[in-house]
């Protein structure tokens, strides 16, 4: 009988991490023309000049598009959005094939900044894909789970940890430990039923092997 597909497939890298936000000065520079634009509009209305009113409307539309692009797309939360280091210098090491050196650089970045989740994500990918160092991947994933504040993202990393234990390490015992931890910490996980079934399957396999 074929084995069921494991529900512990590692998730994609966290999409919520954003690059450096647009500087606050850009927002201020967009607000400066508002008074002249308003005056021009009032003059056009007062003179009843249709060409001036059309030109004013075009200017307002252009300004609105630029403002929405900056505030809602490039920098949705304004100047409070923190700078996130994308570690492009370490990515250059990977491009040159210096994987071990890059891994050490990521470890140093993780140790230096308790809020750096990007380094954890990238180190986990490097360890899984290139180094095949699964214990290092588990270290990075545990750090990421510990650092992110949102329960949904924490659960995602916890699932990747359990999936690494089963799919890469081939260790049923460690997988069962992680599954129990997930079910205890995230009892309302959307896939809780599948995780329990996975745990039951592993228990049955262990019992048959004794």
Note whether 3 and 140 are within 8 A (CB).
no
Predicted pLDDT at 169? 95
Whether the full predicted model's pTM is greater than 0.75, yes or no, is no
- pLDDT tens digit at each of 210 positions of the chain: 444 445 554 444 454 544 444 445 555 666 677 777 677 777 778 787 777 778 777 776 766 766 666 555 444 444 444 556 789 999 999 999 999 999 999 999 999 999 999 999 999 999 999 999 999 999 999 999 999 999 999 999 999 999 999 999 999 999 999 999 999 999 999 999 999 999 999 988 877 766
- What lies within 8 Å, CB to CB, of 91 at 6+ separation is 102, 122
Give the per-residue pLDDT at 180. Answer: 96
Domains annotated for the chain, with CATH where assigned, are 24-80 (no CATH), 88-209 (1.25.40.10)
Locate all alpha helices (DSSP H) within 48-171, ordered by sequence.
50-68, 88-95, 99-112, 118-126, 134-147, 151-163
Under a CB-based contact definition with an 8 Å cutoff, are residues 154 and 6 in contact? no
């Amino acid at each position: 009988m074929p084995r069921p597909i494991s529900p512990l497939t590692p998730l994609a890298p966290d999409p919520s991490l954003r690059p450096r936000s647009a500087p606050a000065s850009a927002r201020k520079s967009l607000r400066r023309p508002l008074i002249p634009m308003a005056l021009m509009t009032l003059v056009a209305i007062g003179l009843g000049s249709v060409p001036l009113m059309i030109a004013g409307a075009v200017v307002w539309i252009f300004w609105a598009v630029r403002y929405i692009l900056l505030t809602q797309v490039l920098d949705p939360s304004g100047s409070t959005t923190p700078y996130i280091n994308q570690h492009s210098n370490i990515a250059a090491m990977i491009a040159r094939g210096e994987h071990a050196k890059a891994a050490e650089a990521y470890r140093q970045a993780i140790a230096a900044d308790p809020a750096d989740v990007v380094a954890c994500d990238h180190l986990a990918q490097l360890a899984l894909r290139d180094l095949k160092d699964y214990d290092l991947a588990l270290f990075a994933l545990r750090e990421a789970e510990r650092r992110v504040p949102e329960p949904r993202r924490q659960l995602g990393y916890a699932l990747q940890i359990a999936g690494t234990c089963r799919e890469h390490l081939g260790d049923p015992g460690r997988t069962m430990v992680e599954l129990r931890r997930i079910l205890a910490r995230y009892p309302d996980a959307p896939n809780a039923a599948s995780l329990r079934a996975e745990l039951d399957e592993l228990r049955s396999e262990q019992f048959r092997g004794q």
